[in-house]
Amino acid sequence: MITQKEFKKKYLKALLDNNAALFAGAGLSVESGMVNWKELLKEIAEDIGLDIKKETDLVAVAQYHKNERIGRATINQEIIEHFTEDIKLNNKHLLLTRLPIKWYWTTNYDQLIEEALINANKKIDVKITQENLATNKPKTDVIVYKMHGDVNHPSSAVVTKDDYESYNLKRQLFTTTLQGDLISKTFLFIGFSFEDPNLEYILSRIRILLGENTREHFAFFKRVNRKDFDKLQDFKYAQVKQELRIKDLKRYSIFSVLVDSYDEIDEILADIEKLYYLNKVFISGSAESYEDWDYKNAIELMHKLSEQLIKSEFKIVTGFGLGVGSIVINGALSEIYKSKFGNSADYLELKPFPQISSGGIKLSELWESYRQEMISKCGIAIFLFGNKKGEDEKIIDANGVYREYEIAKDKDLIIIPIGSTGFAAQKIFDEIKRDIKKYPYLKKYLKVLQNSKNTKEIIGSIVQIITSETKEYLN
């Protein structure tokens, strides 16, 4: 067993190292209203005189029906009818497919994972047959391995004992590919009750494939709860069984993450998503005028702040805010080239705003969508200056910078306003100071952020804030 905190840190590292994978079981789809195995085979069992409630080996039930009916046409029809229903995605689908996971394995026949990935604007390559494994779609974001088949190919879905016994003959490439992924990637198993009829086959295959080359993997479990049992002895029995199962899974290097409710999994996944973006810093600002800041001092602040962030291996995301964007870019590139970090795109993401409306979309609507997408993929937001020319040529606060603050606040980013630079940044600082209980990480640095024009002091404070808020998970 592993604590939720330990799991978050370890799976986050796998995501940041680009070797995280997911293995989805039936439970992930059941939450959307999809049938489980017992429900799928209920009528199949009744057709041959069995009571599905009394059966534990459901693969055998499917095989018995095939034997009795000299074929599997009825089973195929059940798969089509149950797995083509209009089922909505659940929150776990949405959270998982927003994470930068590139390898999805599933034993499910439904297409909910594929639908969720498309909804997340990801291009997918779905592997259903061995022939699919021999070819690759170009420029894909994600590969989905459907190791037991797909609803659109029910006759070849893995359901019966015959299917499992001939698996390594008909689907040997899946076994080989899974072997490579289990050795080189960190898996999260989700939606497995570990009483699923598929599990016996999956776990035995994992252990045989891995041998001594073990790698840590993780699986969610709902903790046995007294409220779910009428009798105390039944609760204690279930508790002992769960503890034994958790210990047994360690043989396969699968460490269990316990939750008190399935909704808690959503919270954990949302936390991981937020933590993943902690190393991306959004710098917001514009400056038609630096006002009472010396020009050289203002340039130095922005340039050296960007340099220091890159030096600390954070990624900078910025637009081309007048008087700010170009300086931020120069500072970032200076450190990238000096430190020989390699590809600048790994550390600097430029987001110039479109300036001309087209396609019948208002520019204001386009900017709002653009801001929402850009800021949602960052964990930290720094605000400085924030002014523009008004209609009468007077310098006024930049409403766009303030809007970016509102979005950052709504998305619960770490917000750092340099109030001493004035204008929108000062307005943001004043608002945060009035509600400082929500921003405890800023308390020690309020005076510096409000009054200082010493670039070294400001940058040092910002680095300390960011380091204290991210070191637990990013180091």
Domain ranges in the chain are: 4-261, 278-474
| 27 vs 413, residue with greater confidence | 413
What pLDDT, on the 0 to 100 scale, is given for residue 12? 94
- Active-site choice (148, 153, 217, 303): 148
* Top-tier CATH class for 278-474: alpha beta
Per-residue pLDDT band for 213 (boundaries 50, 70, 90) equals low
What pLDDT, on the 0 to 100 scale, is given for residue 122? 95
Query: 129 — phi, psi (to 5°)?
Result: -115, 165
Mean residue pLDDT across the chain: 89
What pLDDT, on the 0 to 100 scale, is given for residue 343? 76
Q: What is the mean pLDDT of residues 440-454?
A: 96
What pLDDT, on the 0 to 100 scale, is given for residue 166? 86
Q: pTM here?
A: 0.85
Q: What is the mean pLDDT of residues 131-136?
A: 91
Place of tokens 């002895």: 233
pLDDT at 196 over 70: no
Do domains 4-261 and 278-474 share one topology? The answer is yes
- Helices in 191-288 by DSSP H: which ranges? 199-210, 232-249, 263-276
Contact 288, 439 (CB under 8 A): no
Q: What is the largest CA-CA distance in the chain?
A: 88
Per cent of the chain over pLDDT 70 is 96
Per-residue pLDDT band for 378 (boundaries 50, 70, 90) equals very high
User: What CATH number does the domain located at 4-261 have?
Assistant: 3.40.50
pLDDT at 320 over 70: yes
* Among the listed residues 182, 376, 139, the one whose alpha carbon sits nearest the alpha carbon of residue 277: 376
Q: Two tokens at 167?
A: 């698996």
pLDDT at 168 over 60: yes
DSSP-assigned letter for residue 224:
P
Place of tokens 């204690």: 236
Per-residue pLDDT band for 118 (boundaries 50, 70, 90) equals very high
Span of 93-107, 129-143, 333-347 with lowest mean pLDDT? 333-347
Residue 82 among the catalytic residues: no
pLDDT at 198 over 60: no
